[in-house]
Amino acid sequence: MDLPLPEHAYDLAFRTARTFNRFTDKPVSDETLHAIRELMKWGPTSLNLLSEASFTDP
């Protein structure tokens, strides 16, 4: 089968992907948060509804 993405992309996204369950107190830059937000726009959602988490302190 001819895959449209390199094999390592499938490994990263599906075969070896893991959910992080530990966090640190290390600050995350606004640039990184913006990049994450941009990626979230393209992810699948239930009923095509975009549910967003707040990334900033209240």
pLDDT for 47 beyond 80: no
Average pLDDT over residues 23-49: 83
The Cα 31–Cα 38 span in angstroms is 11
Q: What's the rounded Cα separation, in Å, for the pair 36 and 26?
A: 16
58 vs 35, which has greater pLDDT? 35
**What mean pLDDT, rounded, does the chain reach?**
79
More confident call, 58 vs 25: 25
The pLDDT confidence band at residue 40, using thresholds 50, 70 and 90, is confident
Asked whether the beta carbons of 42 and 33 are under 8 A apart, the reply is no
Written as six digits, the tokens of 33 are: 């948060």
More confident residue, 31 or 52: 31
